[in-house]
Amino acid sequence: MSVACLDTTVLLDLQGRSGKAGQRNAAAAVTRLARSGESLATTQFNVAELWVGVERSKNPRRERSKVEGLLSELSILEFDEAVARVFGAVTAHLQKLGRPAGDMDVLIASVAIANGHALVTRNARHFVDMPGLAVHDYGE
């Protein structure tokens, strides 16, 4: 069974953060993946981004509950030595191209690459030129 790694955009959209259309698009993408036999996961870095949102919200208790419910349905992919090596290679590659990316995006991509998983996102432009990364953009 293959695994789809969900980016923070998907997780936020599933919660309705980008409006009803974004929520429908994310839900449709996740449903398609599940029906095709994909297992769903995310990274510890995406989880960390969600917790920033919880802490910044006007109602942290409600947001915490939403995040915990969402995460209970997913496998969480960890950062390890293999991911660290991929991170180094991807970061160096992007720097050579003169197109550095944000560390969080490279870390998220590195976890997906190291585990051989595609990354599902609404912001494919954040992951351009990352060697070995398969990106599925549902926002197109």
**Cα–Cα distance between 85 and 27 in angstroms, integer?**
33
Q: What is the predicted pLDDT for the residue at 139?
A: 77
Share of the chain above pLDDT 90, in %: 94
Measure CA of the first residue to CA of the last residue in the chain; give whole Å. 26
Domain ranges of the chain: 3-137
Please enumerate in sequence order all residues whose Cβ is within 8 A of that of 128, keeping only pairs 6 or more positions apart, or say none. Answer: 99
49: tokens are 């981004």
**Cα–Cα distance between 46 and 130 in angstroms, integer?**
18
Please tell me the CATH superfamily of domain 3-137, with its number: 5'-nuclease (3.40.50.1010)
Please enumerate in sequence order all residues whose Cβ is within 8 A of that of 52, keeping only pairs 6 or more positions apart, or say none. Answer: none
**Cα–Cα distance between 24 and 26 in angstroms, integer?**
6
Q: Is the pLDDT of residue 140 over 70?
A: no
Q: What is the mean pLDDT of residues 34-39?
A: 94
pLDDT in tens, 65-75: 999 999 999 99
Q: What is the mean pLDDT of residues 32-41?
A: 95
